[in-house]
């Protein structure tokens, strides 16, 4: 009896996936795109991956004509698929890495549309509000929740908001002369009425006259001081948002969420997040460790799966609509904890992680494949019997002829096909690049293989 129930549930799930797939060019994609890429590469990758309708299809790259309303150079972003509008989501402004200007790409019209963000371009610190996230680059810390039809985001770097802490929580010894405006960005009128911490003392910003002058609630002596904004406007940001997704993406709207706990706040960057649709859990992994967030749409009632995933207060979890850090079995986890690439595989019901960097201060890059079981809190290394793609080579990668630092991890692009349950990876550096690979999480041979041949290199 139980077997028949499971089989019926699987058939219903497969039917839903097939219907969703047919909505847009054969299947929806969860596309995690490399940092410091160009839009032309993204669209070429999208066309390529939309052609992969079978497990053994060859890869064919086609450069798209320049889309209407194409943004300028952008970096440190994620490019997920919106199953509601059938379009791709791009968090980016023209020429900036700190932005909340959300763009939507339609492969049908080959054009971008957008909803307004804060209106700034990486040179200042717009503060968070209930209906608009302040500028940041959340990188891989974004995931589409297919149960609620929302895009979740947490944390994200914004170095212009905080000159007291570095991203790893250590003191920032670079001090700023006061009362001159910080060299990293101008004062903005939106700061009026908010608090500012200067040398551990809290002041209220009364007025902002212009980009270089503002009035505080008490005098501050001239000279060098360290300053920051209080939470949630620290660096990294200390809150979450979700974007409601609609058939008409211009109707999407942002909503702020401030949970009681955050994934290691001082390190809420350089990580990745996926949505586990089977267990209704957000899972984040990276330099923050392993964290789960169990959304309940405000009911506060956890499902058994959410409890087992780690949110149950009876076993040390922080409860509904909150983050809980999970200790994996045996403390075993992937070594590439900075900028890992992750997808959730609905076929094997597990998180698949690939690559990553040991930390942001060295050039130790990994090409390991791992799987995380949500309900057993277990990481298992996979693809041990096959040859994986070579690791990203930061030293060899060039940007305008200049070697990139290890933290600039343009490590390739990863996409997931929920119809075939295959993971695709586009290799951008090291031997054989450019090249394309696929991973089959269900294969008894731990099926990681190159996809031959690459029809044509992408012309930029």
Lowest mean pLDDT among 40-54, 61-75, 207-221, 335-349: 40-54
- Cβ atoms of residues 291 and 273 within 8 Å: no
Say whether 40 sits in a helix, a strand or coil. helix
Lowest mean pLDDT among 6-10, 107-111, 322-326: 6-10
Give the mean model confidence (pLDDT) for residues 393-416.
54
Give the mean model confidence (pLDDT) for residues 432-438.
87
pLDDT band at 96 (very low <50, low <70, confident <90, very high): low
Smallest CA-to-CA distance from 125 within 273, 236, 272, 213 is with 236
Lowest mean pLDDT among 32-36, 60-64, 371-375: 32-36
Q: Which residue has the higher pLDDT, 30 or 352?
A: 352
- The pairing of strands 102-106 and 87-91 is antiparallel
Cα(125)–Cα(157) distance, integer angstroms: 11
Q: Tell me the range of 25-29, 117-121, 256-260 where mean pLDDT is highest.
A: 256-260
- pLDDT score of 12: 52
- pLDDT score of 168: 45
- pLDDT score of 326: 98
Q: What is the pLDDT of residues 60-78, one digit of tens each?
A: 778 889 998 888 777 777 7
Domains of the chain: residue spans and CATH: 12-154+244-450 (2.120.10), 176-225 (no CATH)
**DSSP state letters, 339-390:** S-EEEEETTTTEEEEE--BS-TTS--B---EEEEETTTTEEEEE-TTSPPPP
Smallest CA-to-CA distance from 418 within 285, 276, 307 is with 276
Smallest CA-to-CA distance from 144 within 238, 249, 40 is with 249
Residue 95 φ/ψ region, left for φ over 0, alpha for ψ in the -120 to 50 degree band, beta for the rest = left
Mean pLDDT of the chain: 77
Q: How many CB atoms lie within 10 A of CB 195?
A: 13
pLDDT at 118 exceeding the cut of 70 = yes
pLDDT band at 429 (very low <50, low <70, confident <90, very high): confident
Q: Phi then psi for 386, rounded to 5 degrees?
A: -130, 165
The 8 Å CB, 24+ separation contacts for 114-121 are 114/69, 114/250, 115/249, 115/250, 115/252, 117/93, 120/93, 120/96, 120/188, 121/93, 121/94, 121/95, 121/96
pLDDT at 311 exceeding the cut of 60 = yes
3-state helix, strand, coil in the chain (%, to 5): 15, 30, 55
pLDDT at 453 exceeding the cut of 50 = no
- pLDDT score of 190: 86
Say whether 308 sits in a helix, a strand or coil. helix
Say whether 437 sits in a helix, a strand or coil. strand
pLDDT at 47 exceeding the cut of 50 = no
By CB neighbour count within 10 A (0-12 exposed, 13-18 middle, 19+ buried), where does 154 fall?
buried
């Amino acid at each position: 009896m139980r077997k028949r129930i499971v089989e019926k549930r699987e058939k219903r799930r497969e039917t839903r996936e097939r219907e969703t797939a047919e909505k847009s060019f054969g299947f929806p994609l969860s596309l995690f795109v490399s940092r410091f890429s160009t839009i032309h590469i993204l669209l070429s990758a999208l066309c390529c991956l939309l052609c992969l309708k079978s497990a053994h299809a060859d890869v064919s790259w086609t450069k798209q004509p320049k889309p209407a309303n194409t943004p300028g150079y952008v970096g440190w972003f994620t490019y997920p698929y919106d199953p509601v509008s059938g379009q791709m989501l791009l968090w980016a402004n023209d020429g900036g890495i700190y932005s909340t200007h959300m763009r939507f790409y339609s492969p049908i019209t080959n054009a971008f549309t957008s909803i307004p963000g804060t209106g700034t371009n990486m040179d200042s610190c717009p503060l968070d509000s209930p209906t608009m996230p302040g500028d940041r680059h959340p990188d891989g810390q974004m995931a589409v929740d297919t149960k609620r039809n929302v895009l979740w985001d947490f944390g994200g770097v914004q170095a212009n908001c905080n000159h007291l802490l570095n991203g790893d929580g250590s003191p920032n010894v670079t001090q700023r002369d006061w009362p001159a405006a910080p060299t990293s960005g101008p004062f903005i009128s939106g700061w009026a009425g908010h608090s500012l911490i200067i040398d551990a003392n809290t002041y209220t910003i009364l007025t902002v006259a212009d980009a270089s002058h503002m009035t505080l609630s008490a005098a501050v002596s001239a000279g060098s001081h360290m300053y920051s904004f209080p939470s949630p406007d620290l660096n990294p940001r200390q809150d979450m948002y979700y974007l409601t997704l609609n058939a008409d993406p211009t109707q999407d709207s942002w909503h702020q969420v401030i949970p009681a706990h955050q994934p290691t706040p001082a390190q809420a960057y350089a990580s990745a997040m996926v949505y586990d649709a089977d267990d209704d859990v957000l899972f984040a992994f990276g330099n923050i460790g392993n964290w789960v967030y169990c959304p309940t749409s405000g009911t506060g009632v956890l499902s058994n799966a959410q409890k087992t995933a780690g949110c149950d207060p009876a076993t040390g979890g922080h409860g509904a609509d909150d983050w809980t850090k999970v200790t994996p079995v045996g403390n075993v986890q992937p070594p590439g904890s900075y900028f890992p690439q992750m997808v959730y595989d609905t076929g094997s019901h597990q998180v698949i992680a690939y690559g990553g960097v040991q930390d942001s201060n060295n050039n130790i890059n990994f090409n390991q494949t791992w799987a995380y079981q949500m309900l057993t809190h277990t990481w298992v290394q996979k693809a041990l019997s096959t040859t994986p793609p070579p690791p990203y080579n930061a030293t060899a990668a060039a940007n305008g002829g200049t070697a990139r630092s290890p933290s600039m991890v343009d490590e390739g692009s990863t996409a997931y096909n929920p119809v075939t349950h295959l993971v695709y990876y586009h290799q951008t550096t090291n031997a054989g690049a450019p090249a394309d690979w696929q991973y089959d999480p269900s294969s008894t041979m731990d099926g990681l293989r190159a996809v031959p041949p690459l029809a044509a290199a992408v012309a930029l």
